[in-house]
Amino acid sequence: MKFAIFGNTYQAKKSSHASALLQLLEKKGAEVCICREFYQFLTSDLHMNIHTDHLFDGDDFSADMVISIGGDGTFLKAASRVGRKGIPILGINTGRLGFLADISPQEIEETFDEIYSGRYSVEERSVLQLLCRGKQLQASPYALNEIAVLKRDSSSMISIHTAINGAYLNTYQADGLVIATPTGSTAYSLSVGGPIIVPHSNTIAITPVAPHSLNVRPIVIRDDWEITLDVESRSHSFLVAIDGRSESCQENTQLTIRKADYNIKVVKRFNHIFFETLRSKMMWGADGRTNQ
């Protein structure tokens, strides 16, 4: 098999996991290509002796499977590079929570034994696309987790005029608005009071950030519907964050959010169950009054 590897370049203490992974892949006779930035971090900054068959930059790679070593942020960056290539991504968690990157370093050897024997599953996750009228985005317009519209710095709250398929929904007076996929429902959206959405439910969650009204609640819509946002701000500008990548926009910039024409494939162990991940990673449903 051929693997393309991305990694976190800020966790020197956890880099031994990358070394152990590469040694394992070498034993299995895998073809390995590594993101140049990650390779330079391992070799120049950490002085590791790393063998690789190829180095690559940006999205100039091909592989049977992509491996992301880090946390969920590293996984999102890898997903952005994979784009519409259709290559499945395996996340090895050396970060904190690890909801997307959910393979622990202790599970690496067992996981790759399963991969080489074909005992794993691939989940297809929906992606959001952002279109900006009147602005050229600097980064990729695609988000696996969420697209957020936010006020800038300490400026006053913004007004977000929101329409669904051209029909007026609401004007949110708030610090921002988060539009999340089911994958992103357990990320930023959840932290601002959004619902947990089961993967493959074909929905999108719209959740306000610190709304200036008790009558405003999150809403879940079909993912084949189109969302249009027009923003008013006293500072005449606002921020749009695409999976955490922020850009400044002027208030006359109309935003359109729709489901992208491709999915991201996520590798899961064959016995993976979403609800078990909720309980183990997020302590979902935990009750300190019982021993259950």
Residue 278 pLDDT greater than 90, yes or no: no
Collapsing DSSP to helix, strand or coil, 157 comes out as coil
pLDDT: is 98 or 17 the higher one?
A: 17
- Joined together, the tokens standing for residue 109 give 């050897």
Residue 289 pLDDT greater than 80, yes or no: no
128-259 fold: Tumour Suppressor Smad4 (2.60.200)
For the residues 25-47, what does the mean pLDDT come to? Answer: 92
Catalytic residue, chosen from 72, 102, 175, 243, is 72
For the residues 272-278, what does the mean pLDDT come to? Answer: 80
- Joined together, the tokens standing for residue 236 give 């005449």
pLDDT band at 263 (very low <50, low <70, confident <90, very high): very high
CATH superfamily of this structure's domain 2-125+263-282: Probable inorganic polyphosphate/atp-NAD kinase; domain 1 (3.40.50.10330)
- Are 146 and 243 contacting, i.e. CB atoms less than 8 angstroms apart? yes
| Residue-range domain boundaries for the chain | 2-125+263-282, 128-259
Flag the least confident range among 31-35, 123-127, 159-163, 277-281: 277-281
CA dihedral 197, 242, 169, 232 (to 10 degrees): 150
The CA-to-CA distance between both ends of the chain, in Å, stands at 42
Q: What is the largest CA-CA distance in the chain?
A: 60
pLDDT: is 154 or 55 the higher one?
A: 55
261 is catalytic: no
Looking at residue 290, its pLDDT comes to: 66
pTM score over 0.75 = yes
Nearest C-alpha neighbor of 104 from the set 77, 69, 65:
69
* Residue 263: DSSP 8-state: -
Flag the least confident range among 65-79, 241-255, 277-291: 277-291
pLDDT band at 279 (very low <50, low <70, confident <90, very high): confident
Which residues sit opposite 2 in a β-bridge?
Answer: 31
Report CA-CA distances (Å) from 251 to 150, 236, 240, 259. 12, 5, 11, 23
CA 183, CA 54: separation in Å to the nearest integer?
Answer: 31
CA 218, CA 195: separation in Å to the nearest integer?
Answer: 7
Note the pLDDT tens digit of each residue in 164-206: 999 999 999 999 999 999 999 999 999 999 999 999 899 999 9
